Structure 1
Amino acid sequence: MSEHDFPDDLKKLQAELHRSYAEYRMLCRTLPWSTEPLSGWPGVKHPHTDEVTAGREDSPGYTPEQVAAEAQLWARIRELSIEVSMHPYWNTLERGPELVEARTALKHHADALAAVSE
């Protein structure tokens, strides 16, 4: 990919988007599998190995705090996505392959990627 001279504020927005999305994924790993309380189901026992697969434990559903945390992070991700995609820098590029390549390059820019490895 070619080098781009992205403005600092755009790189910071992309880094914050990466950070927020990483935080969101971490939160989601801790949440129950269902937002509402639901009964689980038994797994299927393999006839030869006796391994049980595909079952689920009961889900207690999300607590009000978990609902709020998930909604807040997702709203922040949407907000940052809009800010990045509507940044005035994109108007300085030709529409077409150059613009697509630049948007991809920003997502993989070292400054943005460093935000999630800190």
Structure 2
Amino acid sequence: MSTPPPSPEQASAEDQKFDPHDFPQNLRDAQRRAAELYAEIRAAQKRLPWPREPHEGWPEVTERGRERAGREASPGWPSADAAAYDRLRAELLEVTAYVHTHGWWKTCRDNGVQGADLVAARQALKTAKGAVPLSREDVEQTA
């Protein structure tokens, strides 16, 4: 006894199975902006002195055979750099909140994507095409 072939309605429903990794463009754009902002913040942190506020630092200490690295004195961050950093951080918080609360995640849950599968979809967004500032293809084209 063989099973009958699926009806056209059943076949089209299977072809249109929900894909939680088919992210909407506005979600990809927001994730890309979040990655760009994070990179800008990291670059600023590397460029700026270690303390935001002026600090006299402390000497290196060796105590009971353990060394604790010292820190040099620092004038802190210039006010323009501190303001620029604060703007970047505020925008990053806004964009990441948008990504985390985007309606796509409710659509995923409504289509049965939950638990580890939903976490996997959220993680996949971080490397989705168009959601990262540079892809391997971008680097290869530049090289």
| Alignment pair present for 1:110 and 2:129 | yes
Q: Structure 1 length normalisation: TM-score?
A: 0.82
Match in the other structure for 2:4: none
Please give the secondary structure, in 1, of the residue aligned with 2:119: helix
Query: Which is higher, the Rg of structure 1 or of structure 2?
Result: 2
1:3 is displaced (CA, Å) by 7.1
Q: Name the aligned partner's letter for residue 69 of structure 1.
A: A
Q: Distance in 1 between matches of 2:58 and 2:37?
A: 33
Aligned residues: 110
Q: Which moved more, 1:76-85 or 1:89-98?
A: 89-98
State TM-score, norm by structure 2.
Answer: 0.69
Runs of 4+ more than 6 Å apart: none
Identity %: 41
Matches within 5 A, 1:24-35: 24-35=41-52
Aligned twin of 1:82? 97
Q: Give, as a single letter, the amino acid of the residue that structure 2 aligns with 1:28.
A: Q
Structure-2 separation of matches of 1:87 and 1:60: 41
- Alignment CA distance shift 1:116-1:58 (3 Å): farther
Q: Distance in 2 between matches of 1:4 and 1:14?
A: 14
Structural RMSD (CA): 2.1
Partner of 2:78: 63
